[in-house]
Structure 1
Amino acid sequence: MTSSRTSSIAEKTTAAADVADVERDDPDAEFGGHEARKVMERKLLRKLDLRMSILIVIYILNYVDRNNAGAARLRGFQTDLHLQGQDFATLLSILYVGYIIMQIPSNMFLNYIGKPSLYLPACMMIWGTLSILTGNFVGALLTRFFLGFVEAAFFPGSLFLISKWYKRSELGTRTALLYCGNIISNAFGALIASGILDGMDGKLGRAAWRWLFYIEGALTVFVALCAMFILPDFPATTRRWWLSEPERRLAMRRMEEDAGVGDEAETETGGHATGLWLAVKDWKVWWMAFAMTAQVVALSFNAYFPTLSATMGFDPTVTLLLCAPPFVFTALMAFAVSRHSDKTSERFYHITVPIFGGIVGFVIAICTMNTAARYVSLFLMAQSYAGFVVLYTWVSNSFPRPPSKRAVAVALVNAFSQLGNVAGSYVWPSAWGPTYRNSYAICIATAGCAIVMCYVFKLHLAHLNRLLDKEEEEKGVKEKGFRYLI
């Protein structure tokens, strides 16, 4: 009996050793080999893409709720609230105070609880409700201030969520698809607003602009309820019913291979306070924060797009309809540019060429009041968002680990850049219209500044890559490890 048990233990030990040898020879053995892993990986990405697509819908509603004041301005909003002087600009900019304050704490909390499927939709329901409650000037001011607090959770949280599931080579396209929600909201938000403002005026004794806030806010709350059952959590915390255990392990393995170390292990050893300190002391984070801020000021035309469209002399309904085509074109451009950026693993030129195209649009708008030329200039201005999308991806790529630092870095850059929205709210005073030459000149200067700062950042990352090459050469490592994308 003893001899039999000893033999059985020896056989199990030998089998375990054989499995370990196989896994050493083939790192994909636990997934059934290299070919089986590729099939599983494609299936995993399809599942992920389907679930993450809800983020695009949420982002559309996020910006529709944020920018509906611009459309409402054309149909009595400013008159009914008795807005004078810089009151409207203050109403726009107050949102970004809460938005800036809450982004870093929000992402740190999200990394801590590991449940974006609950946290992000909960914030969404709150901001939808707040949008419905927009009333008089003081009420609108308070509503938009607190709206910024809860909206702060969404975009940096979404960027952090997709960076936990997708490799660097996949991140640009997914970030572009997410940001297309913002771009599409500018197109279809104007169309929806046009329909509501045209058809709901006086219904139940309410002004058309009030119906705009009611309907769009209610739609946001409904989508938030649906999102709770669709959004995934992080690979280590996600619900198992939509993902098999091998697929979950593969998701974690992919991120380990991409960054050179496991995300979850580094989260545990790094800690959230450490992640905050690592991000704050890294000058690269602040450099990109300033570059993003400059570009956000250059994109400040976004909130005033209906006003700029109105300078062509059409009635309010046609003006809102004309806002859609430039942003439909921009959404297609952003996807194409980001996808090509991923395929070529190049970031700098994919950022700066569209931004330069925006500068050309500003110059045209300064030089002429011709209707056709000004409409072409709106297309060129809008497409500069394509470069901005790749810029967001570059930030996520440039701070790969630990995840606690990445969470703070993404939030810090995005939060700081919102200062550009605060400043940008005051770049387009009515007194400078209808030519808005001074406004366009400010946008040209800030866009040029962003291009220069991106170039300096590219030179620094190229230097870091040369240091990594040298280090691996000295150690005799033949297979290249992690490199910054430039």
Structure 2
Amino acid sequence: MTQRPPKLSSHTVISAMTSTPSSMEKIERKDTVAVEHVEKAPEDASITDSDAELLAEHIRPFAEKRLVRLLDFRLLPTIVLIFILNYIDRTAVSAARLQGLEQDLGLTDIQYETVLAVLYASYVPAQIPSNMILNWISRPSWYIPLCICLWGMTSALTGVTKSYAGILVARIFVGLPESAFYPGAIYLLSRWYTRKELAFRSAILYGGLLISNAFGSLMAAGILSNMEGKLGIRAWRWLFYIEGAITVCVGLFAIWALPDYPHNTRWLSPAQRRLAQVRLAEDAGEADEDSSEDSVLTGLKQALRDPKVYIFSIMACSQLLGLSFVNFFPTLTATLGFSTTVSLLLAAPPWIFATIVCCANAWNADRTGERYFHLATWWWGVMLGYIIGLSTPSVGGRYVGMFLMANGYSGFALTAVWVSNAIPRPPAKRSVSIGIVNGIGNLGNLIGSYAWKAQWGPDYHPSMIIGLASLGLASVLGFVIRWMLVIENKELDREEKEMSPAKRLRIEEAARLEGLTFEEALERNKGFRYLY
């Protein structure tokens, strides 16, 4: 699956520059040399003068835009597609229920609820070791696709289950490899994009989930309505076979499409790899690499000693509990009093609107560098939606409240991004922190599956009160984190030149990459501040 790295387009660079014909010819000749070097140089080739050519002042702006654009058109679409399939595979059981899964397997209501919930028994705790592995290995382009193929095959095998025990085991082993994807994808994005680029890209990733809430059932509807009895197989079994097979195919494609890390991605030239490292080093004031002292176990210990990790975790759990209506959204639209078909159609517009709001919110968060209010404002919108639901029987008012509720995920889409910004170095600690926060946060989904009881319908007032309290707690905890980061920024202002050996090594590496003296890199390091 190894591909030849793409050639640099000298014409792209030249057309963007205003220079003399002789200088353009010189750039084009340098570009050709760089391409020959890319095709012949081994992965671990040492940095040479030609590797630094894209750092030249008159070339770098265009080279950096081209690098980001390459990532945007190759990395982002791949992980969005994977995330959509991740959600579809996870919720396939709910769709299969409509076509006889419970009856064929002889499931009781309690057993079916357990089948839904048991995925989180493996999904939640596995996220922490998975991100530790992702930080430790050098080839995420193999690790993540391997997990994709594993959950795809397990999802497909769910179609052959004959009993409650069989589908329970299948669900557990779907959740295990699925745990690698979302926190792993956020960590991988954080290894390529700067702090002020990350929020918008993460929102695009999460937009895949929001869109799947609106249209994910279309695939299931087509399979369930057209495959019943084909080859003597029930349609719900075909649902698992087909969706699982699609996931495996996408997993194989991801081996080619996904990057590794900035220092060893195969489809970038040495000059582009160095540029990618320099971008992140400038963003943080030190190299985005682990030192010899920063092992995955060290990262785990550092994360467990950081109080922000615990506050983030409880905040994420409270937030997802407050947003747990997502699994019951069609049920909520059905309470408006329309037919089943109209109720399902009404469920789509809030999520389409939420996807647009999510991307716009993240774009503004990147432009301003602000984090807390870009999360909390949408939680407060959900709380307003709950208050509307509690206070009025009006169909129009309650439907407006549902739009406000769906927009709450615009805040959640930035949660892992804020963790990455607030706990940026070393990467070993950052990867574990993202895994811990996302893992514990998903306990809110598990608890929330019991917060919308059928006997509380059709008003679901107790459920909404639980949501109000949960999002209120998340708002307070988010403000505490913001206050802590303000204090840490003030301490950075007073920080002296004394530093740990590990941090000194990372700053020395940044100086080497950027061609600076240690003192110049140290001065640039002082410019780093946490985003809050």
TM-score (norm 2): 0.81
Matches within 5 A, 1:207-246: 207-239=234-266, 242-246=267-271
Show CA shifts across 1:255-277 (max 9, x none).
1111222122x343311111110
CA contact under 8 A between 1:64 and 1:186: conserved in structure 2? no
Once the two structures are overlaid, the 10-residue window that deviates more, 29-38 or 314-323, is 314-323
CA–CA separation in structure 1 for the residues paired with 2:230 and 2:470: 44
What's the counterpart of residue 183 of structure 1? 210
Matches within 5 A, 1:398-477: 398-471=422-495
* Structure 1 residue 205, shift from structure 2 partner: 4.3
CA–CA separation in structure 1 for the residues paired with 2:151 and 2:459: 35
CA–CA separation in structure 1 for the residues paired with 2:173 and 2:184: 18
Higher helix share: 1
Instruction: Specify the code of the residue in structure 2 equivalent to 1:124.
Output: I
CA–CA separation in structure 1 for the residues paired with 2:240 and 2:360: 33
Change (3 A) 1:30 1:38: same
CA contact under 8 A between 2:264 and 2:273: conserved in structure 1? no
Instruction: Specify the code of the residue in structure 1 equivalent to 2:285.
Output: G
Once the two structures are overlaid, the 10-residue window that deviates more, 76-85 or 63-72, is 76-85
* Structure 1 residue 119, shift from structure 2 partner: 1.0
Out of 179, 184, 190, the residue aligned to residue 152 of structure 1 is 179
Change (3 A) 1:131 1:467: same
Identity of aligned residues (%): 47
CA contact under 8 A between 2:52 and 2:275: conserved in structure 1? no
What's the counterpart of residue 306 of structure 1? 330
Instruction: Specify the code of the residue in structure 2 equivalent to 1:485.
Output: L
Change (3 A) 1:204 1:372: farther
CA–CA separation in structure 2 for the residues paired with 1:62 and 1:181: 10
Show CA shifts across 1:373-408 (max 9, x none).
333322211110001112221111011100111111
Instruction: Specify the code of the residue in structure 1 equivalent to 2:527.
Output: G
CA–CA separation in structure 1 for the residues paired with 2:157 and 2:330: 23
CA–CA separation in structure 2 for the residues paired with 1:316 and 1:77: 20
Change (3 A) 1:127 1:317: farther
Out of 397, 407, 410, the residue aligned to residue 383 of structure 1 is 407
What's the counterpart of residue 257 of structure 1? 282
Residues 1:41 and 2:87 aligned together? no
Matches within 5 A, 1:310-389: 310-389=334-413
Once the two structures are overlaid, the 10-residue window that deviates more, 333-342 or 435-444, is 435-444
CA contact under 8 A between 1:432 and 1:439: conserved in structure 2? yes
CA–CA separation in structure 2 for the residues paired with 1:321 and 1:59: 23
What's the counterpart of residue 482 of structure 1? 528
Once the two structures are overlaid, the 10-residue window that deviates more, 156-165 or 81-90, is 81-90
CA–CA separation in structure 2 for the residues paired with 1:272 and 1:54: 27
CA contact under 8 A between 2:55 and 2:275: conserved in structure 1? no
Change (3 A) 1:357 1:465: same
Instruction: Specify the code of the residue in structure 2 equivalent to 1:429.
Output: K
Residues 1:293 and 2:317 aligned together? yes
* Structure 1 residue 212, shift from structure 2 partner: 2.7
Q: How many matched pairs?
A: 456
CA–CA separation in structure 2 for the residues paired with 1:363 and 1:399: 35
* Structure 1 residue 316, shift from structure 2 partner: 4.4
Structure 2 unaligned blocks of 5 or more: 1-50, 499-518
CA–CA separation in structure 1 for the residues paired with 2:188 and 2:394: 45
Matches within 5 A, 1:41-60: 41-52=64-75, 53-60=77-84
What's the counterpart of residue 270 of structure 1? 294
Change (3 A) 1:306 1:82: farther
Show CA shifts across 1:92-135 (max 9, x none).
22111111221111111111112111111111111112222223
Once the two structures are overlaid, the 10-residue window that deviates more, 418-427 or 329-338, is 418-427
Out of 251, 268, 273, the residue aligned to residue 248 of structure 1 is 273
CA–CA separation in structure 2 for the residues paired with 1:198 and 1:373: 35
* Structure 1 residue 77, shift from structure 2 partner: 3.7
CA–CA separation in structure 1 for the residues paired with 2:74 and 2:341: 35
Instruction: Specify the code of the residue in structure 2 equivalent to 1:453.
Output: L
CA–CA separation in structure 1 for the residues paired with 2:240 and 2:399: 28
Structure 1 unaligned blocks of 5 or more: 1-27
What's the counterpart of residue 124 of structure 1? 148
Instruction: Specify the code of the residue in structure 1 equivalent to 2:222.
Output: G
What's the counterpart of residue 223 of structure 2? 196
CA–CA separation in structure 2 for the residues paired with 1:69 and 1:230: 29
* Structure 1 residue 443, shift from structure 2 partner: 1.1
CA contact under 8 A between 2:52 and 2:271: conserved in structure 1? no
Instruction: Specify the code of the residue in structure 2 equivalent to 1:286.
Output: Y
CA–CA separation in structure 2 for the residues paired with 1:315 and 1:76: 22
Instruction: Specify the code of the residue in structure 1 equivalent to 2:483.
Output: L
Change (3 A) 1:300 1:344: same
CA–CA separation in structure 2 for the residues paired with 1:355 and 1:381: 8
Change (3 A) 1:483 1:42: same
Change (3 A) 1:375 1:75: farther
TM-score (norm 1): 0.88
